[in-house]
Amino acid sequence: MVRKELSAAAVFLESAERVEWVEVTLRDGRTYEGNVIRNPIRRTGTVVNAVTETRHDFAIDEVLAVRKVLDPRTASLS
């Protein structure tokens, strides 16, 4: 079995799945906030934002950066 090395984008998304709320920046400048769902077989991902009730699909190779941000659902509780 040949082991493929993960791209930087795939590594970003793997860690993003472990946190509650992230900001995903794509190579074309689009930025989305929400929870990340990743499909490693199809090499795609989805950002689901429960606050605005939206979802955005993207290819994993399009990801430029992922960072954890403050969850707006719990920000007012602090």
Query: Residues 6 or more apart from 67 whose CB is under 8 A from it?
Result: 22, 23
The model's pTM is 0.74
The arithmetic mean of pLDDT across residues 12-33, rounded, is 84
Question: What's domain 21-69's architecture?
Answer: Roll (2.30)
Query: Where does residue 4 rank: exposed (0-12), middle (13-18), buried (19+ CB within 10 A)?
Result: exposed
Q: How many residues does the chain have?
A: 78
Asked if 16 contacts 36 with a C-beta cutoff of 8 angstroms, the reply is yes
Asked if 37 contacts 46 with a C-beta cutoff of 8 angstroms, the reply is yes
pLDDT at 30: 96
* Amino acid found at 49: N
Q: How confident is the model at residue 73 (pLDDT cuts 50, 70, 90)?
A: confident
Domain boundaries, the chain: 21-69
